[in-house]
Amino acid sequence: MKSIVIPIDFLKALGESKPITRILWIKWLADYSEDIFKENFIEEFQRIHIDKKIKKEIIIEAYNYGIVYFINGIEYLNKENKIIASKKNLGISKEVINYLNVKANTTFLPNTLNLKLICNILKTGYSYNDLIKVIDNKVSQWQNTPLNIYLRPITLFTPKKFENYLNEPKFHKSKPISQSSGATKLFNATVKAKEQFN
């Protein structure tokens, strides 16, 4: 059985949180300590306690409120106790989420799923700069278009998509040719010349 070290900052913050947040986290730590960090934990918890009529939004809010305290201080371990994500990669992953939020005007949280996606990219040898390059390129392509909804971690940092996004040529939005550009002036001069000699 895996034990969880509870950060002191988490306990302090929990004491100042909403009553429902305190209740949920006490229940989770007491009854679900091995499952709290699983990707589908919230969905499973809600499914089991559907009769309690706790809104999913409240469960998600409480979960996201507390999970960051654990993510800050742990190294994710798999069943063989091998490190899945180092503290360094978790720190980089949080910086990447913050950068995405600033660039794309989004509000993604550094939750388990988002951090795991980015840590997996880092584990394969890509760098912080590679992650930033993908964000910059896709924001320049998709922002203020119908594709704007795909400026999210699950799209940008899925391994196969990430590699494609990283290796595509840098995208530049084309600017309309202004009336005073050299090409336009040359075109107009050509038209006038043709008119004079016809």
pLDDT tens digits, residue range 32-82? 877 887 777 888 888 887 667 778 888 888 887 787 666 544 444 444 434
- Does the global pTM surpass 0.95? no
How many Å apart are CA 180 and CA 187, to the nearest integer? Answer: 11
Give me the pLDDT at residue 77, please: 41
Give me the residue label for tokens 């509000």.
107
Give me the pLDDT at residue 165, please: 92
Residue 146 CB coordination number (10 Å): 7
Contact residues for 136 (Cβ-Cβ < 8 A; gap 6+): 103
Q: How far is CA 107 from CA 100, 112, 114, 142, in A?
A: 9, 15, 12, 17
Task: Name the pairing type of β-strands 83-85 and 76-77.
Answer: antiparallel
